[in-house]
Amino acid sequence: MNHTEAVLAVSFGTSYLETCEKTIKAVEQDLAAAFPEAPVYRAWTSGFIRKKLRNRDGIEIPSPADALEKLLAEGVRDVLVQPTFLLQGIEFEELKETLRAYLTRFDRIRLGRPLLSEDRDLDRITDAVGASFPQLGQDEALVLMGHGTKLGANQVYRRLAGLFQERGYGNILLGTVEASPGLSEILGELDKRKPEKVLLAPFLFVAGDHAVNDLAGDGPDSWKTAVVSRGYRAECLTKGLGEYPAVRRMYLEHAAEAVPL
């Protein structure tokens, strides 16, 4: 290889290959178009998902550290790392730790921000998602399911929930599957509003396991089951945030603004 620059797109990963094409691969293709002088490499942080793909499909996806070793072996000296994470949460902090260990081995490592890192990001994601549901009727509610994190970055979800109300998307509710606001809070809000129909959609980069099972599954603990058991008519949409062109543009802008570690 004769290139000395590269882009490393880092994702948590997914074992759902169809949503991978529409989200992770779509962002990688956008990055390749935006940085034509630098080939784009892939790394996934989830060891569980990498192992599952290896055993099930014979697909090898490198970890960030493995990808960085490969870049060094190919003569890359300058790497731009853009994560597809939503928040500056646990995965992002661990990625920064990994990258810091390689600072002396590269001439430069630049790191782009996760999707929702600044106030302007919150405004833009609110409009990007809200504008994608122009058909939403006054007697309907759209419930978005985010992941949630134990870190302070989780406050983003509550701020976004408020922004949807403030920016004219009053029938959009946002909750998380592993933090707050949780499902019980969403159900309480639905019971106040009593919509005729509830749309359920993931507020996740990929529509993977959480979307298929926790959101739209038929099991007793799914959000769909909880909504239907309250007497609401429910419809599930499994479209990850990575499928929204406006969201992918945000990642490209964060990559363009990446700063050296």
Tokens for 124, please give them: 């833009």
Show the 3-state SS of 53-108: HHHHHCCCCCCHHHHHHHHHHCCCCEEEEEECCCCCCHHHHHHHHHHHCCCCCCCE
Which is catalytic among the residues 3, 147, 210, 254?
A: 147
CB 200 within 8 A of CB 234: yes
CB 200 within 8 A of CB 216: yes
147 is catalytic: yes
Show which residues are catalytic: 147
